[in-house]
A and B are shown apart, each in its own frame.
Chain A
Amino acid sequence: MQKRSFLGSFGLYGTVIVVCGLLLFPIYWMVLTALSPRTQLRSYPPKFWPEDPQWNVFSDLLAAQPFGLWMWNTVLIAVATMILSLTIGVLAAYALSRHRLRGGQGLGLFILTSKMLPATLLVIPLFAIFKSLGLVGSLWSVVIAQSTLIVPFATWMLKGYFDTIPAELEQAALVDGCSPLAALVRVVLPVAAPGLAATSLYAFVISWSDFLYARTFLTTSESKWTLNVGIATLKGEFVTDWNTIMAASLMAALPIIGVYLFLERYLVGGLSAGAEK
């Protein structure tokens, strides 16, 4: 490889630093807000690190609110949504990718149109459906509602990934004695790991950041609230405790970082190298 010139390195690292700065500054500001005494929040000129960081904001939050329960509900919903969406998405994407279905092209596009509908449009009919099914107030309502948004996109993402996997791989597995499902599970899915990881991450993040569905379907009891619903209630009518809200938001963001770190190794592609030629 050609050695990068000094100016080239300068440009590259300069760009990386600017982009990271733009992305990380809001997070830094969240930390700053969470730790600053309330009186200092709107001081001018702003302080870039509080003289007396209020570390107890986290313990106060955990003591005052059922934060653990909200977190648990959110995890349950996100994991269930991820599993449900991925299961449906994998099977649908594999079928669309491998089988020349009558009208397969049209069907694929039709799946995508449902993704074009905004969630706010779906929320009212979904509420009516869940009400008649007796699902309002159950975490399942949110899982199903979120899946309606995630499945179409997951299907398309995975179909694109499956299209890059040579059909000979499954054919070899079939000749080796696999059933079609076994060929999918034992050969195609491991090879598609980067695509699965990216899609799972997408599903998890979308589900984690949902507010609309949880706020609509889970209003009945505080014990079913998710993090986002819970955090929203911290904003008071007269007083808003920004320290607590920022502390809660920070803690809510941690699992996403954890999931990302876990999936990162699969996200790095190139696993299918060596299948051919």
Chain B
Amino acid sequence: MANIRFNNVQKSYGPFEAIRNFDLSVEDGDFCVFVGPSGCGKSTALKMLAGLEATSGGTIEIGGRDVTDLGPGKRDIAMVFQNYALYPHMTVRANIGFGLKMRNMDKAQINAKVEEAAAMLELTDYLDRRPRALSGGQRQRVALGRAIVREPSAFLMDEPLSNLDAKLRVQTRSEIVKLQKRLGVTTIYVTHDQVEALTMATKIVVMRGGVIQQIGTPEALFETPANLFVAGFIGSPGMNFFRGPVEVENGRAVTRFGDQKVTLNVAPEKLSGTHAIFGIRPEHMVVGDTTMPGAPVALSLVESLGTEKILHFPTPKGQALEGDTGIEGSDDAERDAQTMLARVIDDRRYRDGETVHVALPEGKVHVFDPDSHAAL
């Protein structure tokens, strides 16, 4: 058990910079998730922490010990790979015990520890099988067993759930979190799935293009995203964006959404330009409450999940966010700037083409600089 520190770590492959100025401190017992679109450098960062990739600059510490130049076997870490990487020629028992054997632990002790880990993961009946005779979920648990049996100071997990089917993934997700809480071992977990990040992490690191975009708790990332990318990446469905003018009325900044005037929770002096980018989460849109100032919109599509509905409607004319916005790579990368979504929990039936009243509550609208895309 230990804290983990990245001090200004760099990684480049020739002229290509995979990781830039990576600074991160993970406290003992944290469940820290690296999340970002593919190619953002999250796996590279994990491999450098594991010692499987050399750093090009900076230092890495585990438990206060500089491990930058140590081999993977000397860092006291355990790793779970995306494809599990079980040793196919060994039984489950030998797979789980391999790390202990390499550390010259005596046989009886290894056996006891393996049995204990197997019991924890409900693998006892499969100990003498080989990996190929196991199901995907069982293989995944063997990979976890191989990690926990070593009692390392940190677990590193590289997209361990991506090869499981959807149902098993949700189940295993909570099992991993429970296991981590029980063992209290600092965990670094890499995923491209922001839902996994939000549900599992105590601390999330959002990365893009080798650069950390924001570090924070799931709540902080959801409520106060640092920039347009994080805002679009975290949350499902993703945040709605639109462009709008910035005006000052009675000392308060306001913008327009269609014909509706929207008061902003930002000091007017922060808004230097004449326009900005605005964002609002689909779940924060208020639909049908005519007591709030809002605009009528025509629904282009209604997706119903029973009580929960996703309403699609066109972005007001001239306010769509087009061009390079830096939100590519988020879950709905195919997002259509011309369409906005509202998520409602309501028993009312909505029909395609119906006109409804949509309001943007004050305080729920995020404001981003139109050039730097940073949150204001």
* Interface residues in A, total, Cβ within 8 A: 24
| Interface pair A171/B102, CB less than 8 Å apart | no
| Interface pair B85/A169, CB less than 8 Å apart | yes
Bound: A275/B134 CA distance, A: 11
Cβ contact of A272, chosen from B84, B88, B146, cutoff 8 A: B88
- Does A45 count as interface, using CB distance less than 8 angstroms? no
- Does A172 count as interface, using CB distance less than 8 angstroms? yes
The interface centre, meaning the residue of B52, B99, B102, B133 with most chain A CB atoms within 10 A of its CB, is B102
- Does B222 count as interface, using CB distance less than 8 angstroms? no
Given contacts A182-B102, A273-B132, A275-B131, contact A172 B85 (CB under 8 A): yes
| Interface pair A174/B163, CB less than 8 Å apart | no
| Interface pair B83/A277, CB less than 8 Å apart | yes
Bound: A272/B89 CA distance, A: 7
Instruction: Annotate B81-100 by CB proximity to A: 1 below 8 A, 0 otherwise.
Output: 11111111100000000110
Cβ contact of B73, chosen from A175, A272, A274, A277, cutoff 8 A: A175
| Interface pair B85/A168, CB less than 8 Å apart | yes
Bound: A26/B79 CA distance, A: 57
Q: Which residues of B contact A51 (CB under 8 A)?
A: none
Given contacts A176-B73, A274-B134, A277-B83, contact A191 B88 (CB under 8 A): yes
Q: Which residues of A contact B163 (CB under 8 A)?
A: 277
Our count of residue pairs bridging A and B at CB distance below 8 angstroms stands at 87
Closest CB in chain B relative to A185 CB, distance in Å: 12
Cβ contact of A177, chosen from B83, B102, B132, cutoff 8 A: B102
Cβ contact of A277, chosen from B50, B130, B136, cutoff 8 A: B136
- Does B326 count as interface, using CB distance less than 8 angstroms? no
| Interface pair A274/B132, CB less than 8 Å apart | yes
Q: Which residues of A contact B99 (CB under 8 A)?
A: 175-177
Cβ contact of A166, chosen from B83, B98, B146, cutoff 8 A: B83
Given contacts A176-B73, A182-B102, contact A277 B81 (CB under 8 A): no
| Interface pair B146/A176, CB less than 8 Å apart | yes
Q: Which residues of B contact A277 (CB under 8 A)?
A: 83-84, 136, 139, 163
Q: Which B216-261 residues sit within 8 Å CB-CB of chain A?
A: none
| Interface pair A275/B77, CB less than 8 Å apart | no
**B residues lining the A interface (CB < 8 Å):** 50-52, 71-73, 77-79, 81-89, 98-99, 102-103, 130-134, 136, 139, 146, 150, 163
